[in-house]
């Protein structure tokens, strides 16, 4: 059987035997007309050639041409979350990765002599000239695959004789610098197949839900039949017309003796199972893909992701992410049912051992609001900021969890004003241990500690563990009077949970290009930035917050540490807590900063939502106790 992939066949001269036979088969009148047209064409062509040689693009650029490609975002286990592309939805593959059935079908219908000509097929040109002359308009192009590639990559789409001459000149040049297989591979990856599918791989996955390597003869013939008018001939648009085009391709294959009668009949009778249009599918987890896109844009620029053919493995666990989204929806409804006028919530979960983000929910419903509050909304954490103050106290070497501090009235000069801190309930406890002060979230001891240690020291610690937002040096700082995103404070808690070991928070494990070359590798390289004894001491104290303090509603049946947070006027309510394997923060509030109402506290309202998430997240995960401070040396 004849194969269209025999590149050893000698190139056909411009005036070939086939061309002479066409002319010899004409009638006398037709020959005269043809010669007149040919003479005119030749004269115009010579002028066009002269101009073309001066102004045509340099075909050598095709040696380094890299088509734009679609990028894909996956969860940490390999589940596809989204495909991102610009105008062209394309996956570039090698010629060896394309089914021989498809290669034969495309050659049969587009350029049966591709492997036998030098870029221009005189038989095809002659046939097109006669057809166009007879009809008085352009009805047939006579373009080879090389000429089509040149038109798509180097020229404008206008239909004119001068442009056709330019195509021919450039095609001849291209054939001098690229092999036939290189040209064919470029063509198959570049050609448009309809429904925003560029290249054979995305088209095969869209039309038949399979790789181009696995296409049958019947499927290949249907795809090859689309090239002339992809949207018109699409089986998604008109299946009957697509079948007619398939038949034309198959019969052309038989005419060329590239398939047998048996193969022809089998392909015609094969049942075609269509896939679905894939080019404009939305993300399965939009809060995740939006955040990942933002991180990649900062690193690579805005144009790289939709064009660069990236393969992005995120840190996010899709199952955990769906748990988180459902928990936020249920939690929001629960708050509404309790009469709390709250519009929005956010949730962030981070693995403290790697600082990899495992889940991120930026609002109650992405469809109604795409604003990602986990990353973009800066809110005051209230008492959830206190663990950093207590860490600074322990790290100073002057305090332990059992050290005593006064919970009594105090005032400080603040410029021309007097700052008087108050506890949430307005009461005083006298002397109290630091442990108890954090467990029940007393404000006055936290302010006293801030003054004793120094606010600058607290600020330096926060910046060391990844908080980038500006932190004002104000007397009320120990009570959380600083604007932070949920992501920032969760990442900072992750360093406490990991006994002082810090890594930058990220949502990306690795990025490669379509060829598997690594563009970004975020393998954690943790650094010890905090004192281990002091972080273990803070964790030890925060376990008491859950067992007997303001966060008892967060108990999950295993060792856990956490802290409630409620700002003045109850505008923001929080619970942030962790087990050794996972840190999670839940925030609730209103985008317009309206108060939630007296009694709306993080311990009463948000801790149960945190518990709901953590119970699901830790299901099947072994219980792991925290390391006690005694295993570390005191500073």
- Could you tell me the CATH number of the domain that includes residue 231? 1.10.3810.10
Percent of the chain with pLDDT over 70: 86
pLDDT band at 70 (very low <50, low <70, confident <90, very high): confident
pLDDT band at 130 (very low <50, low <70, confident <90, very high): low
The reply to whether 264 and 357 lie within a common domain is: no
- Residue that finishes a domain, picked among 269, 303, 335: 269
Task: Determine if the pTM surpasses 0.85.
Answer: no
pLDDT at 220 over 80: yes
**What is the per-residue pLDDT for 27?**
47
The reply to whether 217 and 330 lie within a common domain is: no
The reply to whether 259 and 351 lie within a common domain is: no
Helix (H) or strand (E) holding 540: helix 532-548
The reply to whether 549 and 627 lie within a common domain is: yes
- Tell me whether residue 436 is in a domain: yes
What average pLDDT does the segment 329-347 reach? 95
pLDDT, greater one: 615 or 50: 615
**What is the per-residue pLDDT for 121?**
84
The reply to whether 259 and 329 lie within a common domain is: no
Residue 110 known to be catalytic = yes
pLDDT band at 52 (very low <50, low <70, confident <90, very high): very low
**What is the per-residue pLDDT for 151?**
84
Question: For 231-261, what is each residue's pLDDT tens digit?
Answer: 899 999 999 999 999 999 999 999 999 999 9
What sign does the dihedral 499-503-507-509 (CA atoms) show? negative
pLDDT, greater one: 528 or 199: 528
- Tell me whether residue 457 is in a domain: yes
The CATH number of whichever domain residue 393 belongs to comes to 3.40.710.10
Taking the C-alpha atoms of residue 435 and residue 537, their distance in angstroms, rounded to an integer, is: 9
The number of folded domains in the chain is: 2
Could you please report the per-residue DSSP string of 33-91? HHHHHHHHHHHHHHHHHHHHHHHS--GGGGGG----B-EEEE-TTS-EEEEE-SS-EE-
The reply to whether 495 and 608 lie within a common domain is: yes
Please tell me which residue in 69, 110, 219, 295 is annotated as part of the active site: 110
**What is the per-residue pLDDT for 140?**
46
The token pair at 158 is 């206008």
pLDDT at 155 over 60: yes
Question: For 27-47, what is each residue's pLDDT tens digit?
Answer: 444 444 444 445 444 445 545
Query: How many C-beta neighbours within 10 Å does residue 302 have?
Result: 10
Percent of the chain with pLDDT over 90: 70
**What is the per-residue pLDDT for 234?**
93
Closest CA to 312 of 330, 328, 297, 325: 297
- Tell me whether residue 119 is in a domain: yes
What average pLDDT does the segment 346-353 reach? 98
Domain, as residue range, for 595: 320-631
The reply to whether 472 and 600 lie within a common domain is: yes
The reply to whether 414 and 492 lie within a common domain is: yes
The reply to whether 427 and 487 lie within a common domain is: yes
Highest mean pLDDT among 117-126, 296-305, 467-476: 467-476
The token pair at 309 is 């053919």
- Tell me whether residue 289 is in a domain: no
Please tell me which residue in 234, 383, 441, 503 is annotated as part of the active site: 383
Question: For 487-508, what is each residue's pLDDT tens digit?
Answer: 999 999 999 999 999 999 999 9
- Tell me whether residue 333 is in a domain: yes
Mean pLDDT for the chain? 88
pLDDT at 137 over 60: no
pLDDT, greater one: 552 or 154: 552
Contact between 374 and 347 (Cβ < 8 Å): yes
């Amino acid at each position: 059987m004849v194969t269209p992939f025999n590149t050893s066949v000698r190139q056909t001269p411009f005036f070939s035997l086939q061309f002479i036979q066409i002319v010899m088969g004409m009638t006398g009148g037709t020959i005269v007309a043809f010669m007149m047209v040919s003479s005119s064409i030749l004269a115009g062509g010579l002028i066009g050639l002269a101009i073309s040689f001066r102004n045509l693009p340099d075909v050598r650029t095709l040696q380094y041409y890299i088509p734009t490609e679609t990028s894909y975002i996956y969860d940490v286990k390999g589940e596809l979350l989204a495909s991102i592309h610009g105008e062209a939805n394309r996956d570039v593959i090698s010629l060896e990765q394309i089914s021989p059935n498809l290669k034969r079908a495309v050659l049969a219908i587009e350029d049966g002599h591709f492997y036998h000509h030098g870029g221009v097929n005189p038989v095809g040109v002659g046939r097109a000239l006669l057809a166009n002359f007879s009809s008085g308009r352009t009805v047939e192009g006579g373009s080879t695959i090389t000429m089509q590639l040149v038109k798509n990559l180097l020229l404008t789409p206008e239909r004119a004789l001068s442009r056709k001459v330019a195509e021919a000149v450039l095609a001849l040049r291209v054939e001098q610098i690229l092999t036939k297989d290189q040209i064919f591979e470029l063509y198959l990856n570049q050609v448009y197949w309809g429904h925003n599918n560029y290249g054979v791989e995305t088209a095969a996955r869209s039309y038949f839900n399979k790789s181009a390597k696995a296409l049958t003869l019947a499927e290949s013939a249907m795809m090859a039949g689309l090239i002339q008018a992809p949207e018109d001939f699409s089986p998604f648009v008109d299946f009957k017309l697509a079948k007619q085009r398939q038949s034309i391709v198959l019969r052309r294959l038989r005419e060329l003796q590239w398939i047998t009668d048996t193969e022809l009949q089998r392909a015609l009778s094969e049942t075609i199972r269509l896939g679905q249009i894939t080019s404009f599918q939305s993300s399965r987890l939009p809060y995740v893909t939006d955040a990942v896109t933002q991180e990649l844009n900062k690193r690579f620029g805005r144009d790289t992701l939709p064009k660069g053919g990236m393969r992005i493995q995120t840190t996010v666990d899709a199952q955990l992410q769906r748990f988180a989204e459902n928990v936020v929806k249920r939690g929001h409804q629960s708050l509404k049912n309790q009469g709390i006028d709250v519009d929005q919530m956010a949730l962030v979960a981070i693995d403290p051992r790697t600082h990899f983000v495992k889940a991120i929910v930026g609002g109650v419903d992405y469809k109604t609001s795409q604003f990602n509050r986990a990353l973009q909304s800066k809110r005051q954490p209230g008492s959830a900021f206190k663990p950093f103050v207590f860490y600074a106290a322990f790290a100073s070497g002057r305090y332990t969890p059992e050290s005593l501090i006064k919970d009594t009235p105090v005032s400080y000069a603040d410029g021309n004003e007097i700052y008087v801190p108050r506890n949430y309930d307005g009461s005083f406890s006298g002397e109290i241990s630091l442990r108890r002060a954090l467990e029940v979230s007393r404000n006055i001891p936290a302010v006293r500690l801030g003054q004793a240690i120094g606010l600058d020291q607290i600020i330096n610690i926060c910046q060391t563990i990844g908080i980038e937002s500006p932190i004002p040096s104000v007397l009320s700082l120990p009570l959380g009077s600083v604007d932070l995103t949920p992501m920032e404070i969760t990442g900072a808690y992750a360093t406490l949970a990991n006994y002082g070991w810090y890594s930058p928070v990220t949502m990306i494990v690795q990025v490669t290009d379509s060829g598997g070359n690594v563009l970004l590798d975020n393998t954690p390289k943790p650094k010890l930035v905090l004192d281990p004894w002091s972080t273990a001491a803070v964790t030890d104290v925060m376990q008491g917050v859950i067992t007997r303090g303001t966060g008892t509603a967060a108990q999950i049946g295993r060792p856990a540490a956490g802290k409630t947070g409620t700002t003045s006027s109850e505008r923001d309510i929080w619970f942030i807590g962790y087990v050794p394997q996972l840190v999670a923060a839940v925030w609730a509030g209103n985008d317009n900063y309206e108060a939630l109402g007296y009694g709306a506290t993080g311990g009463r309202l948000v801790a149960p939502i945190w518990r709901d998430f953590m119970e699901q997240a830790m299901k099947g995960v072994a219980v792991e106790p925290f390391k006690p401070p005694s295993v570390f040396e005191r500073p």
